[in-house]
Chain A
Amino acid sequence: MLGLKKYLQKSFLHWVSKRIPAGRSVALNHRNVFIFPSKSGFVFLLVSVLVWLLGTNYQSNLALLCAYFMFAIFVVGLHHTFSNLSGLTVTGLSSQAVFAGDDCGFDIQLQRAGRGSYESIMLQWPQGRAQLVNLQKGSKLQARVFCKTTKRGYCYPGRLLIESYYPLGLFRCWTHLDLKVKALVYPAPINAGPLPKDALSLREGGAVATDGGEDFIGLKNYQHGHSLKHIAWKQYARGQGMLLKDYCDYRSHQLWLQWEALPGLAREARLARLCYWLLQVSKTEECYGLRLPKVEIQPNSSLQHKLKVLQALALFELETDNAD
């Protein structure tokens, strides 16, 4: 029984995926919105039939009117429930990158064309929590709908379920939309202890720096939390904004997060630990680089660099199976 239900559900979704093409932005109308009485709706119909039997058996026209009223409400409710979704335009906006195992939020925009009110619309990814939204004032709203992630790489949340029972709960009106959104999922960090000694390596092909220690390598944007002593005050005075003088301390240890530092571990285990070290290192101001088989990222300490390294970890050896 359960198997049959699952099978039906699966073949329905398959059919839906052929019927409703994917798109960043989808306008809901009679072609892509489904409607069917809910369980409560069937109970309501049953009650109206019972009232009809009561009215017929007791020859009471008022009870009959009551039964017909219930039936009429059922029919009118169908149109209202349908128009509570139809007419909306659903757009997939941005998503944030998260670590595997965290909930990844996708920003979804609902926009209405007319001034009809839309209430109690539920948005939900197949692996995610339901989110209830109302669009009563203004022409659009944004909602962040979360999806569970399990492994690194790109997270494709699947088809977004948009569902509504409003106003009477007698009908379920729903659709499954592929909004062509994806999110980057980094490996979940696993505590691997302090960085091993052989993660340190000297600057390649150059002499040890002389006194004075730090080489100025350029300017980078100030990020909250950076040390004030690195701010390029001269540029700030010229009105160029808060910039940081970016230094690489060649005398100090140059950090390489290396694949080889974790021998004997499986790929995912290595990536998880590298991710942990990366997070630890990025809290300091040291430059670090990444060495994976066939991947090398030169050391740096900027935020962009950190994201680049994280992305490399996330997508390592996945490019082929998850190509866009």
Chain B
Amino acid sequence: MLIKQMPRQSLFWVFVAQTIIIAPHLTHLPEWIVLTWLLILGWRIQMYRGLWRSPKTIEKVALVALCGVGLLFGYSRLFALEPMVGLLVTAFLLKLLEMQQRKELLLVIFIGFFVTATQFLFSVTLAATAYGVISLLLLLVALVSANQDIRIENSHATVRKAVGLMLQSLPLMLLLFIFIPKLGSLWHVPSLKNIAKTGVSNSMSPGDFSRLGLSNEVAFRVTFDTELPRQSQLYWRGLVFSNFDGRRWSPISDFSQSQSQNEVLWAASNLEARSNDWQMLDIPGRETRYQVMLEASQQSWLYSLPMPTEWGGATGLSRDMTLLSKNPITERLTYELVSTFNFEFEPERLSSLGEFQATQLPLDFNPKTQQLALKWLREEGSAKGLMERILRLYNDKFTYTLQPPMLGRHSVDEFLWTTQKGFCEHFASSFVFFMRSAGVPARVVVGYQGGELNPLDNYLIVRQKDAHAWAEVWFQGQGWVRVDPTAAVAPERIEQSLEASLSSADASLVGGFLGRAGAFGWVKQLQLQWDSSNYRWQLWVLGFDRNRQNDFLKKLLGGLQAWKITLAFISVAALCLAPIILRLLWLQRPPPLSPVARCLLRFERKLKKLGLVRRKGETLGDFAIRAAEQHPNYREQFMMIAKLYERVVYGEDNSGMAALNIRISYLKV
């Protein structure tokens, strides 16, 4: 039975660990838990200092009851992650106040491990992980000191022991992570409350994109397996908007409807079969292979370069050539795609429904634009001519700015003929409205344009500030053609970046503070470095899902047979544990023999050849005499060695050491 008393030192470490562990949960914990925490921590610290008494049973019962009521009524949903964490944290706290014995202290520490693990469900960045590692280390320190003699107060050694234990267990941890098969969710779990996310949304009103321009947040990252396309080709299509209500652009219908209409191809192999019907023709040419890691957008569409020809898993291609996911993207998603830039999309004809959707307008809005569009069409004679004329107008008269003036009811009229200052959504919106007014099928496409290459790992970072809106116009024989009115007014936006296309005052707003700091070379370098480590972290650790695990093991072992995996696991585990065991054995090895003892051993070995063995307890002197009696011809040498030995050992005279060595070496038997 272990001595039951609780070491003070360990209690101290538990205070520290608990504070560190609970801190990141403060963002979602209800206020009353925070208050309870402060109360309990304060009480316990006063107890630790010997100022306050421990709580009475009635007080403990009251606290538990209050917390129970708080948990029952404080959360809107009971069976979700947040209330579970709330319950855990509450248990973590109450146990801290109540514990008296060592084994209870251990229990508090174990709960701490669980609470730390739940933290990883809320945040998975590299920084959050480092924080989690520190939490785990503190828990280990507390655990080690909980098992120490209460009289020992050398916290330095305790921390060192904990760090040692942690480092020694990392290889085995990685091994388990790589080899243990990953299972899907065992039962349905309610996901986290939708967190408001910046990013492209499923509708577009004036001002939406200029707001995104202020955000430096990463939208997604792309690794290209093939050559990186030109900057001006990087149009990441997200959504197509065909509906316009005078102010807001939105998709034709909501997704559930379009999916139920079987308008989505869930497997790339179906593309072939439907390509006639859908009139998607990819003309043989350069293919671009790439992998997108999309941050959690809480939306269910994906971004792709036109036109995707191969896609996998739970994604599908919809009728308007955008990619959809079956479920909203609540966590980071990695998907691989192949796109081709040489394609024709519905070149022959539009379906009547498609044509209606691509030309519909709210008639009581923007009367001036509607009139002028028809007038200009008559003057130019063709849709192409009309398009060139409006683009020329943009180029001559318009300003590209992050801070456009506010627009009233007839937003397109005001923008086109009065303010003439705007951001991409103004240009896209007014352009499509204008073309539709002349009866030309056109639609708005939103997504991202461009991206920043991280030269360290050669991948593209696409940020929220790269959000963009452009247009697609349908021409007979050509199908849908991308037209970017922004390119007409600010070609730098497309060819370089947003910052390059804006006035210096505007450019300083791009990307918020972090974006601005990037103007300094070294800050930029640091940002790229950080992003690169984060990307690798996400790619290799967070993105190590079942598919990747299978791929990795297949590559490593040449197959996925159970015996191969087991064998590999056991051998690598042995490799991991061997150094630990060897080190522990090495620490236990007997101390090296002293030179004198080694001499003695050599002497005894030589005499053994003569059939003489020293008896237990016999001094070397006695032994030498006995040996000399049996082998008188060695008498001199034996006696000399014994004498020298005694001089070195008992006389503590080391000068005899060399002579002793030589004597023994020259003793030939």
Contacts and interface: CB of A to CB of B under 8 A. Distances in A.
Interface string A47-85: 110110111111111111111111111011101100100
A174 to B, nearest CB: 11
Nearest to B122: A60
Contact of A51 (B117, B144, B176): B117
A238 to B, nearest CB: 31
B590 A114 contact: yes
A115 interface: yes
Interface stretch (A38-46, A99-107, A262-270): A38-46
A122 interface: yes
Interface string B362-389: 0000000000000000000000000000
Given A65-B541, A72-B169, A114-B588, A43 B147 contact: no
A66 B136 contact: yes
Interface band, chain A: 35 or more
A86 interface: yes
Contacts of B588: 83, 86-87, 112-114, 116
Given A57-B189, A60-B124, A120 B149 contact: yes
Interface in B177-197: 177, 180, 182-187, 189
Nearest to B187: A57
A40 B101 CA distance: 13
A165 interface: yes
A134 interface: yes
B569 interface: no
Interface stretch (B60-68, B553-561, B576-584, B615-623): B576-584
A40 B591 contact: no
B106 interface: yes
B41 to A, nearest CB: 22
B147 A166 contact: yes
Interface residues of B, number: 67
Interface in B277-297: none
Interface string B106-124: 1100110110111011001
Contacts of B187: 57
A292 interface: no
Nearest to A88: B588
Interface in B572-603: 577, 580-581, 584-591
Given A75-B169, A114-B589, A165 B116 contact: no
B176 A76 contact: no
Given A62-B124, A66-B132, A71-B176, A80 B165 contact: yes
B117 A73 contact: no
B180 A115 contact: no
Contact of A55 (B3, B117, B331, B591): B117
A176 to B, nearest CB: 14
B268 interface: no
Given A166-B147, A168-B144, A168-B147, A79 B186 contact: no
A130 interface: yes
Contacts of A40: 103, 106-107, 110
A192 interface: no
Interface string B148-189: 110110000000010001101111111011001011111101
A65 B184 CA distance: 16
B353 interface: no
Nearest to B588: A87
Contacts of B469: none
Contacts of B177: 61, 64-65, 68
Given A51-B114, A114-B586, A120-B147, A69 B542 contact: no
> Which secondary structure dominates chain A's binding surface?
helix
Nearest to B107: A43
Contacts of A116: 584, 587-588
A53 B152 CA distance: 37
Interface string B518-544: 000000000000000000000001111
B577 A132 contact: no
A112 B547 CA distance: 51
Nearest to A29: B588
A57 B189 CA distance: 7
Contacts of A48: 113
The listed residue with most B CB atoms (<10 A of its CB), out of A71, A75, A130, is A75
B172 A114 contact: no
Nearest to A40: B106
A76 B165 contact: yes
B2 A122 contact: yes
Contacts of A47: 110-111, 113-114
A119 interface: yes
A48 B120 CA distance: 15
B117 A67 contact: yes
Nearest to B538: A61
A83 B584 contact: yes
A169 interface: yes
Contacts of B149: 119-120, 132, 134
Given A51-B113, A56-B186, A66-B120, A76 B2 contact: no
A167 interface: yes
B185 A56 contact: yes
B1 A130 contact: yes
The listed residue with most B CB atoms (<10 A of its CB), out of A57, A163, A166, is A57
A120 B587 CA distance: 18
A83 B165 CA distance: 13
B586 A76 contact: no
A55 B132 CA distance: 15
A76 B579 CA distance: 11
Contacts of B270: none
A120 B145 CA distance: 11
Contacts of B107: 40, 43
Contacts of B144: 166-168
B140 interface: yes
Interface in B407-445: none
Contacts of A134: 149, 151-152
A69 B173 contact: yes
A58 B189 contact: yes
A51 B119 CA distance: 11
Contact of B3 (A57, A86, A132): A132
B121 A63 contact: yes
B403 interface: no
Nearest to B84: A54
Contacts of B186: 53, 56-57
Interface of A: 39-40, 43-44, 47-48, 50-51, 53-73, 75-77, 79-80, 83, 86-87, 112-116, 119-120, 122, 130, 132, 134, 139, 163, 165-169
Given A68-B172, A69-B169, A169-B146, 7 more contacts: A40-B107, A44-B110, A54-B117, A55-B120, A79-B580, A114-B590, A169-B143
Interface of B: 1-3, 81, 102-103, 106-107, 110-111, 113-114, 116-118, 120-121, 124, 129, 132, 136, 140, 143-144, 146-149, 151-152, 161, 165-166, 168-174, 176-177, 180, 182-187, 189, 331, 541-545, 577, 580-581, 584-591
20 contacts: A40-B106, A47-B113, A58-B81, A58-B189, A62-B117, A66-B116, A68-B180, A69-B136, A69-B173, A71-B172, A73-B166, A80-B584, A114-B586, A116-B587, A119-B152, A163-B2, A165-B2, A165-B147, A166-B147, A168-B165
Q: Which 6 A-B pairs have the closest CB atoms?
A: A87-B588, A116-B587, A62-B120, A72-B169, A72-B172, A68-B176
